[in-house]
Every structure is written in structure tokens, then in C-alpha cells.
Chains A and B, each alone.
Chain A
């Protein structure tokens, strides 16, 4: 049953990735792409716009879902995500600073560097609370994350307030989330960071299983919980930094994908992590395709679609688990 569900997720992923580049405002006949002809308009749209975009969406979704699954297990809380913990808004604040700075200086991969500093800063703030007060509960840590989230959100608002009209528009547009890219440079950067991050988290699968039960049990079984937490926090901040730098703080994938996968394949991270990564990727590709075709030829920011789908899901989750526990 669980194996069947996992196979279903793989097939779903492959189908979405294969079909999505052919869907959009411009029809792409299969004949124009099979000989890699970049001279035609259709070929150009297919190879330098849609394919890179599908790959970017897949890798970004995969990274977000991977972070979500790790954080949910580590915090033993279904609402723990890069978003709710303030990691996304930390990264967004970093990247927003770079939007303003870019007018003055240009740094190679500046937005990634700045959003990494932001996400790491958010993580250190959240993690710092656990060091200051010994005997913290994971719930306290989650609340600290929510506070950090608000803190950085206000700072972003402040940045928008002091920036000029063009910069402010750029920040708003980017905060809505988008996977609109040209060429393969962005997908390749994504590939490197997502593969590295997912590999690090996958190596933590057994630890995640035990930590999702309780820290006591994890320690009794031999998990170095402190070290494992640091590794997970680090991997998450790297992955989130890249996603936010290129695509903006896309919400809800990190929340939804792990939950849906847990319902489908169960809570064993040896399968759950892989399933979430695939599903999260495929889901963002799907959302982006919807965003491209809904009011074509115009586009809706993909963040709007994921949040529109995610909002009701969030409520459903809360109604299903009134205590906010388990799932």
C-alpha cells in the first residue's frame, strides 16, 4: 500500500515534469523540439524559457518540501516550516537588502549570499533561545520562530518604505514568488544547492525518525540530538537562501508536501523524505503551470497560487488536529 503510494508519487512527478513544458500560451508541437532546433520561436520558448522554468520550479519545490519534512520531524510539530520559523523571512530580508544595495554595488551571487546571511541569522536567533534558556521546549522554539518571522517581516516593510518606487515594486513583485527564469544558469545553481541539501537531510533520515518520537528516545538510541539539529538547521538555511534569493519566499509547499506525503506513504523518513522532495517539486511545477495558463498570456505570481491552495489546506489541517499535535 505504502509502496504503491510511493510509486504513484514517482509517476505523478514524471508526468507533471514531462507535460508541463508543453502547456502554455504558445503551443509547442512535439516535432519542433525533437531536433533541438533553437532557431524557431517554439524551440526557443521550449528550451530557454519553459524547460529552465520547470527545472527551477521542481528544484525549488523539492528544497522547500525537504526543509519542511526535516523541520516538522525535528520540532515534532505539524506547523513547523521554513516559513513559520522565520527562516524564509530572514532570507527575504537579506535578499531585499541586496535589492537596495544592487543599485550601488554588484556582488556575484549577491542575492544568494545576502539571503543566506538572513536565513542563517534567523536560525541563529531561534536556536539562540535554546542556548540561553536551558530546558526549553520545542514549542517555545516554534513561538520564537514566529516572533522572528514577524520581526523580519517588519524590517522588510521598513525597507520598502525607505526605498524608491521602482525598488519597492521589485521587492513586492519578488515577495509574491516567481520561478520565471531564462536559460540554465539558475537551474544549475539550484541543482547544486538542492542536491547538497537533500543529501544532507537524507543522511539524517534515521535521526529524524527518532527525533520525531521524542528527544529522550533519540538520545537513548544514540542520536547526537544537538549535532543533528545544527546539521538540519544549516542545510535548511542554505536551501531556503537559494530558493528565496531566486524565487522569493514561496509559502505552503514546505507545509503541505510533507503532510500529504505522510498521509500517503506513512511517517518513516526513509520513504517520507524522498516522497516529499518529489511531491514538493512536482507540486510547485503544477502550481506554476496553473499560474502561467490561468489568465494567459499574462501570468499570476506562483506564490499567489500556492498560498491560495495552501490556505484552505492549512485550515483543514487545523480542524483535523485541534490540538495541533501529531498528524
Chain B
């Protein structure tokens, strides 16, 4: 169960002379829920984009399931991992059903016909993500929360065992934030999917992750259990500010509280 699925060694990435990722070495084991946190510009999104090869010209090595990322064809890679961007473009003219069905791509050839099996995957994913009710709506008419649900449904249909998510709940209201996190938890528990999630929201990371990686200026500052990051000194090193904590009324965790400004 706990075999390593992602392993990076001295992963670095520069953009026009500026170092974005600085010799990152870490590993992620199968079935985990890993949340990546850190201030703006820490390199969180860039890291995700390297892992799914949207960015290809990184230095160092990335191994996915013990194989160098660069040796995968894009299609075979998509059978193993998928990427859920922060937001989908607002003007997609496909229907929800069409969009989700397109995620069967890695399992199809250019001229293959959609099988009942493919349709079954779509139906199952739509039921799990509660998107059945807007199957025939055009993507452009969905709200941000609905679009995110659809995006995750498509990731499910792709049948990847690793989900890389870039701030899946950041722009959503409280209810949709909860829905997305409980959906990710359910997917993780049901299929043993490895969830790698970038977030700005420390509290949701602490409550939902089983391990946390904190980045700052392209370097790893912290890696470990969620409970351990809730430490004044560690958080101050990451975010360059002081935090106050309270005990969560239900979960046995400390969480941070917003500052009072004067």
C-alpha cells in the first residue's frame, strides 16, 4: 500500500534567471493525502505543473512509480496522474457530459467509438460528484463551484491513481469548499487515490491532509504530520508573520485564527 508513487530529486526550475524551485527532494507514497502550503510565489503551482509535465524543462529528476517522468508518453502518464487546474476557462462551449466524457482520452485511440463501459465510467463519476443534474448544461453556464465538481468528475473518469489539484476550493463559498474537500476524502478512501493538493488554506490542510509539505521561495521548509506544522516558530518561518491558535471543537487539532487588525 505505502509504495512511493512520486519521488523528486533536486528538482529545480528557473524562469528568466529567477529560481522558482530550488533543489526539491521529497517523496509521496501511494494513497496519501498530501497538501502543499506556502506563501504566494513559493512555487506551489509550478511544482504541480512540473509533476504533470505541463512544464517540461525542469532540472533534477522526477520519478512517477519508479520511472523517470520524462520516459512516459503523455498518454501513458495521463493514465497514472491527472491535474485539476485552479479554474477551468469560463467560456467552454461543450456540455458537462461531453467535457467529462473527453477525459476518457488516454484510454481511446483517435477513431475509437465510445463504449458502454466508457459511458458507465462517466455515469459513475457524475453520481459520485453529484453532477448528474447538470449533465446537459453548457460548461460556460456553470457556477465556479459546479465547474470544480465537474473538473473532479472528469479526473475520476480519467481513472488516474494520482490527482494533482491546484487550489480546488480557494474561490468557493463555505458549502462548496466543504463539498470539494469531502469529495476528495471520499475519492481517496474509495479508490485509494493519491491526492496532492496545493492550498492557501492552512486550516483545511491541517484538517484534511495526512501529510503536509510547506514551501517558501522554492525551498521545502517543512514536511511532516499536519499536527506538527501548527507550531508558532515553523509557521513564522514559512509566512513571516505571527499566528494565534485555537483548539478545533471537534477535531483533535489546533487551527489558526484570523488576525485582528487595528
The answer to whether residues A220 and B78 also contact, given A206-B108, A214-B85 and a CB cut-off of 8 A, is yes
Residue numbers in B under 8 Å from A222 (CB-CB) = 74-79, 105-106, 158
Beta-carbon contact of A221 and B158 below 8 Å: yes
Closest-CB distance, B194 to chain A (whole angstroms):
15
B91 near A: Cβ within 8 Å?
A: yes
Most B C-beta atoms less than 10 A away, residue of A203, A267, A325: A267
Residue of A nearest to B86 (CB): A216
A266 near B: Cβ within 8 Å?
A: yes
Beta-carbon contact of A221 and B106 below 8 Å: yes
Beta-carbon contact of B89 and A214 below 8 Å: yes
Complex CA distance for A217 and B86, rounded to whole angstroms: 11
Closest-CB distance, A258 to chain B (whole angstroms):
13
Residue numbers in B under 8 Å from A266 (CB-CB) = 93
Closest-CB distance, B190 to chain A (whole angstroms):
21
Beta-carbon contact of B88 and A221 below 8 Å: no
Residue numbers in B under 8 Å from A308 (CB-CB) = none
A213 near B: Cβ within 8 Å?
A: yes
List which B218-261 residues lie within 8 A (CB) of chain A.
none
Residue of A nearest to B104 (CB): A221
Closest-CB distance, B70 to chain A (whole angstroms):
13
The answer to whether residues A216 and B83 also contact, given A134-B57, A206-B102, A224-B73 and a CB cut-off of 8 A, is yes
List which A186-217 residues lie within 8 A (CB) of chain B.
202-206, 209-210, 213-217
Beta-carbon contact of A214 and B88 below 8 Å: yes
Beta-carbon contact of A216 and B91 below 8 Å: no
B74, B79, B85: which contacts A224 (Cβ < 8 A)?
B74
A312 near B: Cβ within 8 Å?
A: no
Beta-carbon contact of A210 and B85 below 8 Å: no
Chain B 84-127 near chain A by CB (<8 Å), digits 1 or 0: 11001101111000110011011010110000000000000000
List which B43-93 residues lie within 8 A (CB) of chain A.
52-54, 57, 73-79, 82-85, 88-89, 91-93
Residue numbers in A under 8 Å from B1 (CB-CB) = none
Chain B 15-54 near chain A by CB (<8 Å), digits 1 or 0: 1000000000000000000000000000000000000111
Residue of B nearest to A222 (CB): B78
Closest-CB distance, A62 to chain B (whole angstroms):
20
List which A268-283 residues lie within 8 A (CB) of chain B.
268
Beta-carbon contact of B98 and A268 below 8 Å: yes
Residue numbers in A under 8 Å from B78 (CB-CB) = 220-222
Residue numbers in B under 8 Å from A215 (CB-CB) = 54
A135, A214, A223: which contacts B105 (Cβ < 8 A)?
A223
A15 near B: Cβ within 8 Å?
A: no
Residue numbers in B under 8 Å from A11 (CB-CB) = none
A23 near B: Cβ within 8 Å?
A: no
A326 near B: Cβ within 8 Å?
A: yes
Closest-CB distance, B111 to chain A (whole angstroms):
7
A134, A206, A326: which contacts B93 (Cβ < 8 A)?
A326
Beta-carbon contact of A203 and B88 below 8 Å: no
A213, A214, A223: which contacts B94 (Cβ < 8 A)?
A213
Residue of A nearest to B53 (CB): A219
Residue numbers in B under 8 Å from A216 (CB-CB) = 54, 83, 85
Closest-CB distance, B112 to chain A (whole angstroms):
9
Residue numbers in B under 8 Å from A223 (CB-CB) = 74-75, 105
A220, A225, A267, A325: which contacts B83 (Cβ < 8 A)?
A220
Beta-carbon contact of B103 and A221 below 8 Å: yes
Residue of A nearest to B158 (CB): A221
Chain A 234-251 near chain B by CB (<8 Å), digits 1 or 0: 000000000000000000
Beta-carbon contact of B110 and A204 below 8 Å: yes
Residue numbers in A under 8 Å from B84 (CB-CB) = 220
Residue numbers in A under 8 Å from B158 (CB-CB) = 220-222
Beta-carbon contact of B105 and A213 below 8 Å: no
The answer to whether residues A206 and B105 also contact, given A216-B83, A219-B54, A220-B82 and a CB cut-off of 8 A, is yes
Complex CA distance for A219 and B110, rounded to whole angstroms: 16
Residue numbers in B under 8 Å from A326 (CB-CB) = 91, 93, 140
Beta-carbon contact of B15 and A213 below 8 Å: no
Residue numbers in B under 8 Å from A204 (CB-CB) = 110
Residue numbers in A under 8 Å from B89 (CB-CB) = 213-214
Residue of A nearest to B164 (CB): A220
Closest-CB distance, A217 to chain B (whole angstroms):
7
B52, B73, B92: which contacts A219 (Cβ < 8 A)?
B52
Beta-carbon contact of B83 and A210 below 8 Å: no
Residue numbers in B under 8 Å from A325 (CB-CB) = 91
Complex CA distance for A225 and B75, rounded to whole angstroms: 11
Beta-carbon contact of B110 and A206 below 8 Å: yes
Residue numbers in A under 8 Å from B74 (CB-CB) = 219, 222-225
Residue numbers in B under 8 Å from A221 (CB-CB) = 78, 82, 102-103, 105-106, 158
The answer to whether residues A267 and B79 also contact, given A206-B105, A216-B85, A224-B73 and a CB cut-off of 8 A, is no
List which A121-160 residues lie within 8 A (CB) of chain B.
134-135
Query: What is the interface of chain A, defined by CB distance below 8 A to chain B?
Result: 134-135, 202-206, 209-210, 213-217, 219-225, 266-268, 325-326
Q: A202-B110, A223-B74 provided; 8 other pairs, C-beta below 8 A?
A: A220-B78, A220-B83, A221-B105, A222-B74, A222-B78, A222-B79, A222-B106, A224-B74
Query: What is the interface of chain B, defined by CB distance below 8 A to chain A?
Result: 15, 52-54, 57, 73-79, 82-85, 88-89, 91-94, 98-99, 102-103, 105-106, 108, 110-111, 140, 158
